[in-house]
Structure 1
Amino acid sequence: MEDVSERPSREGGGSGQGVRLRAFVAGLTGTSLEWYDFAVYSAASALVFGKLFFPSSDPLTSTLLAFSTYAVGYVSRPLGGFVFGRLGDVVGRKKVLVWTLTLIGAATVLIGCLPTQAAIGPAAPVLLVLLRFAQGVGVGGEWGGAVLLTSEHADEEHRGFWASAAQIGPPAGNLMANGALAALGALLTDHQFLTWGWRVAFLLSSVLVLFGLWIRSRLEETPVFQRLAESGERPEAPIREVLRTERRGLVAAVLGRVAPDVLYALFTVFVLTYATDRLGMARGKALTAVLIGSALQLVLIPLAGALSDRWNRRRMYLAGAVAAGVWPFVFFPMADTGSWGLLVVGVVLGLVVHSLLYGPQAAFVAEQFSERLRYTGSSLAYTLAGVIGGAVAPLVFTALLGSSGSWLPLAGYVAVTAVVTVTGVLLGRDGVRPAPAPGAPAPGGGVPQAASGPGRGR
């Protein structure tokens, strides 16, 4: 199998500062808007969908069924990764990102208009699943392009920071989604919120998506794809090439993403159910804890990305993975005290750990693939990891709690995923590019080649 690190790199020093900043804003804005759509569904799954679309005499069963539709959004991601990832390497990053934003926005608005089971019977949950599937397809094609939109405009020495723009999207979208739901919950009675209030958060997506489309339509194509298009080096069958020539990078990137997905599902989705059903806390208090942690991530994620440019990226990722495996064993005893303050501290520190992984993740994943296959490889890694990580996490958490009545199996589950991610990071390659000798040209006429060892700095 060909080693990505031995391929000549043709990436130059990146675009100008102004272009990089516009790309950063476009990547951040687009993914924030799309994750608003995705996160508002996640929160609604925990709070209202079980009652409206999957009514049952057992609240835990209703929640479990609602989380199963949450998982559909992850299961459908690989289709988006296959379709849009391939197109991103063939027709360009910018066009595909406009398409994915439109798809997710349309699906979310339609969910806000969807009749419940009480109104149209079994057709309601079926339509909900179909629209959730469409959301997942769009998100599956979004992440890889958003990462490349910023990282391919960036210089080598600051790739971790610039690529983190796409990583800020999930907490920013989660913050907006939970903020909207919390505000609606505070302004409306429980009956009003359950009857029609939750729909407002979905319908707001129409305004946000129009703004996101405007931002992305004004951005130029990345210089890397422009060079590939001009040289005629765009791949004809990128999926087949990734599976044939870059399997190690794909496996490393997939495994490296599992623990962050599960950890994020725990501290932004399942914690809402745990706090309200298990601890008896008010819905608003549980949402507030998530909002505080998400707000802090807006700063921590780009900071972690920047630190990975100064330190070794893999070692930083490994430290985050170990902390991810340990923290749930501390968090659950804190939460079980019933103290809202300790719940907030536990959620915030859990999302701090997640930031250590999520900040450098975009650059780490992109660096596993050659530039001509980077959209396809990154999208496949992102979506396949989502299926085995985030897709089943709320279901597993709910099922483990229901069967055991204890938090220990939940913490053990996170610890297992942390071991999986450590394995992936050890398989992965560093993005370190050693400087050439004074006066010597960089290999391949571009920047220096990537090293496969730990090396210095990143």
Structure 2
Amino acid sequence: MSTSPLSATPPDVAGKNSTSRVIFASFIGTAIEFYDFYVYATAAALVIGPVFFPHSSATAQALSAFVTFGIAFVARPIGSFLFGHFGDRIGRKSTLVASLLVMGLSTTLIGFVPGYDSIGSLAPILLCILRFGQGIGLGGEWGGAALLATENAPPGKRGWFGMFPQLGPSIGFLASNGLFFGLALSLSDEQFRSWGWRVPFIVSAVLVAIGLYVRLKIAETPAFQAAIDRQERVRVPVATLLSQHWRPTILGALAMVVCYTLFYNATTFSLSYGVSALHIPRQTFLGMLCVAVVFMALATPLSAWAADRFGRKPVLIAGILAAIVSGFAMAPLLGSGSMPLVLLFLIVELFLMGVTFAPMGALLPELFPTNVRYTGAGVSYNLGGILGASVAPYIAQVLAAHGGLTWVGAYVSCAAAVSLVGVLCMRETRHTQLM
């Protein structure tokens, strides 16, 4: 049966979700959630190690901080299974509200956890629990936001509509890094390590309140409402997904690897390496990252437009091939220690992140039918996070210590090659109808 996204939807349901409301609700949620997530990533590179892990070695502290960083990526698929179940059974709207609450509460509480000097080993335990909560919340966020955008999109515009959740990470990163940048400029090192790093976590509470206000005003998506009308919901979406749709789930996860690897090696690892090994001042490197992420934001709409015009696969293949080549530029650019060359490296990596990330907002939902779409898109997205991001900064730190940046660059190229295999093996989804 072939219908347009709105054809089976009662007029009152479709009318409630205006274009501007859909765009803003899908964008603001991911921006806030990724702000929360990146706040921890930045803190892990700068301060989590010394505050929560009393090793004598700075390298050991960094590795411990990056282990806690990776915990959230293990939790994210669990969150996608959990929230995906309710998103496919109950609806997109209520599930998106719940995921935002879990993420926001976990992030805010991290800002209040005392350090190791105050409560001993309980400090890293509480940190790990709350970091796990961050992963659970984000695991349920992205799939719902992408579906909110794409299931409301007019024909031929899904790549464009699916771009707005993909803009959220750029804005969230810019907000979190910008706040850390401002704190680095205004506080001494002692003030920053003592209490300043906690401010971005606590600010999350205000942002979450804004996001909840917006999310509570949206209506259910037309495609899900149509599935309810046709009585197509399944009892256990994850069981249906794993038994009938395992292949697109795996291919979608492989396609996501390049996005995660590019981003977290260009930000979390590079920030840690730049400050500790290259001795670039913290505020200077944070400022360069703020400049570079603007290019990621610029690449996102360009890539989304191209994905609607030429198809998802051609755009992704071109971006992934460029990412493979970029791995060879890591040592000469980042390793030079020259500010212009380091900035150029960050710009190239984050621009390519935007190119490869933008089509995913439409591609992953298009791989699955409505009754398992929330679960399928979320699981693919977050399994890719385990493969491409959970251990990326840790592996990069180990490789840099033993073989230098050339090895880290080779790791980036290999991760991109994994995504190339996934994209080449999947079908083109541009003309798929979301029913």
Range class of TM-score, shorter chain: over 0.9
Q: Take 2:290 and 2:303, find their aligned partners in 1: how far apart are those partners? A: 20
Q: Which residue of 1 aligns with 2:10?
A: none
> 1:121-176 CA distances to partner (integer Å, 9 max, x unpaired)?
00000000000000000001111001001000002301011011111111111111
Is contact 1:108–1:205 with CA below 8 Å preserved after alignment?
yes
Q: Can you give the 5+ residue segments of structure 2 that lack an aligned partner in the other structure?
A: 8-13
What residue identity is the alignment partner of 1:265? Answer: Y
- Quote the Cα distance in structure 1 between the aligned partners of 2:430 and 2:407: 38
Name the residue aligned to 1:423: 421
> Greater shift after overlay, 409-418 or 108-117?
409-418
**In 2, are the aligned partners of 1:167 and 1:301 still within 8 Å (CA)?**
yes
The 3-state SS of whatever aligns with 1:314 is: helix
In structure 2, the partner of 1:454 is: none
Say whether the 8 Å CA contact 2:17–2:219 is kept in structure 1: no
| Residue identity in the other structure for 2:5 | G
Change (3 A) 1:253 1:172: same
CA distance in 1, matches of 2:128, 2:376: 27
Partner of 2:152: 153
Amino acid of the residue matched to residue 236 of structure 1?
Answer: R
| 1:12 paired to 2:10 | no
2:311 corresponding residue in structure 1: 312
CA-to-aligned-CA distance 1:295-343 (integer Å, 9 cap, x gap): 2322321221121100121011011111111112113312222211221
Residue 177 of structure 2: aligned partner:
178
The aligned counterpart of 2:127 is 128
In structure 1, distance between residues paired with 2:197 and 2:434: 52
Counterpart of 1:107? 106
Matches within 5 A, 1:323-334: 323-334=322-333
Contact persistence 1:40–1:178 (CA under 8 A): yes
Report Cα offsets for 1:227-254 as digits up to 9, x if no partner.
Answer: 1122211111111111111122111101
3-state SS of paired residue (1:432): coil
How far apart are the structure 2 equivalents of 1:401 and 1:9? 52
Structure 1 residue aligned with 2:275: 276
Aligned-pair distance for 1:360?
0.6
Residue 338 of structure 1 aligns to a residue in which SS? coil
Residue 407 of structure 2: aligned partner: 409
- Confirm or deny that 1:237 pairs with 2:236: yes
Matches within 5 A, 1:283-294: 283-294=282-293
SS at 2:337 equivalent: coil
Give me the CA root mean square deviation.
1.6
Corresponding position of 1:51: 50
Contact 1:13/1:154 (8 A) holds in 2? no
Q: 1 CA distance for matches of 2:15 and 2:325? A: 42
The whole-number CA distance in structure 1 between the counterparts of 2:296 and 2:6 is 29
TM-score, normalised via structure 2 length: 0.96
Give me the whole-angstrom Cα distance separating, in 2, the residues matched to 1:92 and 1:18.
15
Q: Which moved more, 1:301-310 or 1:9-18?
A: 9-18
Q: Mapping of 1:249-268 within 5 angstroms?
A: 249-268=248-267
Confirm or deny that 1:380 pairs with 2:393.
no
Deviates more, 1:124-133 or 1:346-355: 346-355
SS at match of 1:157: coil
Task: Give the drift of 1:12.
Answer: 2.7
Q: After superposition, what is the alpha-carbon deviation per residue over 1:11-56, rounded to whole angstroms, capped at 9, x for unaligned? A: 4358679712211111110110011111000000000000000121
Which stretch shows the higher mean deviation, 37-46 or 339-348? 339-348
**Alignment match, 1:339:** 338
Alpha carbons 2:6, 2:222 under 8 Å: kept: no
What is the Cα deviation at residue 10 of structure 1? 3.6
Query: In the alignment, is the contact (CA less than 8 A) between 1:242 and 1:373 conserved in 2?
Result: yes
TM-score by length of 1: 0.91
- 1:159-197 CA distances to partner (integer Å, 9 max, x unpaired)? 011011111111111111111111011101000000000
The one-letter code matched in structure 2 to 1:343 is V
- Looking at structure 2, the residues matched to 432 and 41 of structure 1 have their Cα atoms a distance apart, in angstroms, of 35
* d(CA) in 1 for partners of 2:347, 2:298: 13
Q: Name the amino acid aligned to 1:12.
A: P
Q: Is the 8 A contact 2:5 2:152 kept in 1?
A: no
1:58-97: CA deviation from partner (whole Å, max 9, x where unpaired) = 1111000000000001011111011001110000001000
Alpha-carbon separation, structure 1, partners of 2:182 and 2:157:
38
Most deviating of 96-105 and 11-20: 11-20
Aligned 8 A contact 1:367 1:430 in 2: no
Code of the aligned partner of 2:114: P
Count of residue correspondences:
429
SS of match in other structure, 1:156: coil
Q: Answer yes or no: is the 8 Å Cα contact 1:111–1:131 preserved in 2.
A: yes
What does the per-residue CA deviation read over 1:361-403, in whole Å, with 9 as the maximum and x for residues that have no partner?
Answer: 1211111111221111111111211111110101100111122
